[in-house]
A = this chain, B = another copy of it.
Amino acid sequence: MSSSFGKSFRVSTFGESHCKAVGAVVDGCPAGIKLTETDIQPQLTRRRPGQSKISTPRDEKDTVTILSGTENGITLGTPIAMMVLNEDQRPNDYKEMEFVPRPSHADFTYLMKYGVKAQSGGGRSSARETIGRVAAGALAEKILKEKHGIEIIAWVSSVGDIDCTQPNFDTINRQIIDANIVRCPDSNAAAEMESLILKVKDEKDSIGGIVSCVIRNVPAGWGEPVFDKLEALLAHAMLSLPASKGFEFGSGFAGVKMRGSEHNDPFVMKNGKLGTKTNFSGGIQGGISNGEHIYFRVAFKPPATIGLPQKTADMNGKEVILEAKGRHDPCVVPRAVPMVETMAALVLINA
């Protein structure tokens, strides 16, 4: 009962791994926007499995169809329903796992909550659930870009203990980021990350990473004070992504070591407008955007499904050795990049 997100631009997603289709309905899209499937497809393609040698071999085209809400390629102001048919369903891959809850996976908690362990129910906790989000996010991004010039750019900034150098926040773009399959704008770090992911994959293991994101051109004055601060909604959105473990914006955890006198961002004139000299605030003060770049980072854990044998217990507590045969990602962050952008777009369009 939490498959919808947002208030004024409300997204309701549906679909599991093994049903007919996955998708989303967007209620609150303005009328008069040009919209066809070609606006939505690119982010779905960046998200799709099987896109490179470092992602899961599960191969799906993830082709989107717009069911409602447009006429002659123009939005009507009515709900936009978007659907992706499920093609490649191999429920048998997971059969062996049926009676043993996979460690650090949602198998156990879903069973505790819903009392049933259906493959597709678990599938709702899989990355496949994010297709509806990404479709809705692509629509949100288009509106933000066309109406406000807002640009949302995410990239892989860490894989395991390999960190990338910080890119130029003013110029970083998706072309630079998609130049390699890791989606890291620092090509040296990217090469190291790729090697690490392949090594981990060979070892039937997995590894975590960090996705960083900058949002440009958000006008000052977006967001709300008190409970629904912009940073609170961003944190909510990012921690709702599968496998995420942490969120920080601006100075983040590093900021706790700083003095107020160095952390405060003094006001200065910049290009004829009042701005701040530094940006430890990450573009948000008191829950409201201040016109500077919004900047945040999201931590993702190593995927729980691994090929290595794991000593664990079944539901009766009996010790068993579990060896996953399903197809899975050794590292989620390259495919998480469009998901982070998506959730950022859904937060902003509701702000």
| Interface segment, one of A43-51, A56-64, A142-150, A307-315 | A307-315
Given A76-B124, A267-B312, verify A12-B12 contact (CB < 8 Å): yes
Of A28, A108, A205, A306, most buried by chain B (CB within 10 Å of CB) is A108
Q: Is A18 an interface residue (CB 8 A)?
A: yes
Provide the bound-state CA to CA distance between A73 and B198, in Å.
40
Provide the bound-state CA to CA distance between A4 and B10, in Å.
10
Q: Which residues of B contact A80 (CB under 8 A)?
A: 14
Please encode chain A, from 1 to 35, with 1 for each CB lying within 8 Å of some chain B CB and 0 for all others.
11111011010111110111111010110011000
* Secondary structure dominating the interface of A: mixed
A107 smallest CB distance to B (angstroms): 8
The contact sample of 6 A-B pairs, CB cut-off 8 A, is A13-B226, A109-B223, A210-B253, A232-B236, A236-B236, A258-B302
CB–CB B306/A264 < 8 A: yes
A22 smallest CB distance to B (angstroms): 7
**Residues from 233 to 250 in A contacting B, C-beta threshold 8 Å:** 233-240, 242, 244-250
Size range of the chain A interface in the assembly: 35 or more
| Interface segment, one of A112-120, A171-179, A183-191 | A112-120
CB–CB A261/B308 < 8 A: yes
A157 smallest CB distance to B (angstroms): 10
Given A260-B302, A269-B317, verify A246-B252 contact (CB < 8 Å): yes
Q: Is A66 an interface residue (CB 8 A)?
A: yes
Q: Is A167 an interface residue (CB 8 A)?
A: no
Q: Which residues of B contact A78 (CB under 8 A)?
A: 3, 14-16, 120-121, 124
Q: Which residues of B contact A266 (CB under 8 A)?
A: 103, 310-313
Q: Which residues of B contact A83 (CB under 8 A)?
A: 67, 83
Q: Which residues of B contact A20 (CB under 8 A)?
A: 65-68
